[in-house]
Structure 1
Amino acid sequence: MKKIIPILSAAILLLSACSQNTRVPNSNAAKPAAEKEFFARMRIDEKIKEGGAVKLKFTVYNQTDSVKQFCKWHTPFEPLMSKYLDVKDENGTEVGYQGPMAKRIMPPPADSYLKLNPGDSLSVDVDVLKAYPIKKAGKYSIVYTGQNMSGLVVKDSVVFEYGK
C-alpha cells in the first residue's frame, strides 16, 4: 500500500504534464491565419505650425483572413465625444481634454460597430485641437487609450513639434 501512493502521484503528475493546457506553443512556428493582426496605427506630421490644425490620421488594418469589427466609440471614427487620447507635452504634463463627454448605453448597439473586410484598412483624420487646447510651442506626444471600448490595439504613439 505504501508503494502505491508514490506510484499514483507520479502517474498523476505525468498525465497532467500531457494536458493541452500546459503545453507551450512553439513561438518560432508560423502564425495561423486566424491569428494574423487586426490593429490600428496613428500618424501625424512631425512639425505643425502654431495656429494650424493638428491632424491625426487614425488607420485600422485587418490583416486577418476574416471580417473583423470594432466599436467606433472612443475612436476618431465618430466626432470627438469622449477622451480616448492622452496628449502630453515634453515634460509629461497632460493637455486637458475639453471636448464633450457622451453617456452611453451598454452594450453598444449594432450600429456603433464598423466592419472591415480581410486585407482592408479604414482611415480617418481628426483635428486634435478641437478637444485638446495646445497653446504652447513644444514637443507633444499622443497615446491612444480607447482600446477597452473599441477593441482596437494601437501599439505606437506619435510625437510632433508644435510651434513657429
Structure 2
Amino acid sequence: MKNLSILISTAAILTLSSCGMNNNAAKNSNEVVPAPIAQDSTAEKGLFAKMSLKDTVKAGELVELKFTVYNNGDTAQRFCKWHTPFEPFISKYLDVKLASGEEINYKGAMAKRMMPPPASSYITVNSKDSVSTKVDLLKGYDLSKPGKYTITYVGQNMSGLIVKDSISFVYEK
C-alpha cells in the first residue's frame, strides 16, 4: 500500500511538471503564436478595438463598419488579422442580430487555416497609435430586412482583440 501511494504521488508530480514544461517549450520555440488576449479594453496598457457605424443606413447604401485597434501600451504590439475586418470576409467574426433576437446569416467564405499563423498574418500597432479599416457588412451578411440590428465582435479567440461594446444601427428600406 505504501508503494502504491509513492507511485501515485510520483505520477502526479511528473504530470504536473510536464504541463509547465510544455508552456516553456512553446515560449522558447521559434513558432509564431497568437497575441495574448487583452482582459479589459479599458485597461491603461495594451491593445483593444472599437467598432463604429452610422446610426441609420438606408437601403442601397453601404453598411460600412469601421474597426479601429488602439495601442495604449508603451511599446509596439501586434495582433493577428485573422477573424477581423483587416482581411476579406473569409470567416465569421461578427454576430449580427435583429432586435427580435433573430441571428442574421453569414454568407461569406469560411477559410481553413494552418496553425500557427505565419508572421505575415500579424499587424503591428505602434505605441500610443491606432490602425483602422472599413468593411461593407452587405458583403458578408444577409441584411435584407429593415429593422434595428446589433453587431457583436466574436473573433477574439483568433485575433487576440477584445471589443467590449456591441453597436447597433437601423436599416431602412
Q: The TM-score by the shorter chain falls in which range? A: 0.7 to 0.9
- Tell whether the 8 Å contact from 2:64 to 2:134 is kept in structure 1 after alignment: yes
- Give, in angstroms, the shift of residue 138 of structure 1: 0.5
- Give, in angstroms, the shift of residue 35 of structure 1: 5.5
Q: TM-score w.r.t. structure 1 length?
A: 0.78
Could you say which residue in structure 2 is the equivalent of 1:49? 58
1:6-155 to 2 correspondences below 5 Å? 36-155=45-164
1:161 equivalent in alignment to 2:170: yes
Percentage of pairs with the same residue: 60
- Tell whether the 8 Å contact from 2:44 to 2:72 is kept in structure 1 after alignment: no
Q: TM-score w.r.t. structure 2 length?
A: 0.74
Partners of 1:86 and 1:94 lie apart in 2 by 7
1:6-45, Cα deviation, whole Å (9 max, x unpaired): xxxxxxxxxxxxxxxxxxxxxxxxxxxx961410000000
- Tell whether the 8 Å contact from 2:46 to 2:77 is kept in structure 1 after alignment: no
Report the aligned-residue RMSD.
Answer: 1.2
- Give, in angstroms, the shift of residue 50 of structure 1: 1.2
Instruction: Give the residue type in structure 2 aligned to 1:47.
Output: T
Gaps (5+ residues) in structure 2?
1-42
Instruction: Give the residue type in structure 2 aligned to 1:107.
Output: P
- Whichever of the two has the greater Rg, that structure is 1
Partners of 1:124 and 1:99 lie apart in 2 by 18
Aligned length: 131
- Give, in angstroms, the shift of residue 52 of structure 1: 1.3
Partners of 2:44 and 2:135 lie apart in 1 by 30
Instruction: Give the residue type in structure 2 aligned to 1:59.
Output: T
- Give, in angstroms, the shift of residue 51 of structure 1: 2.0
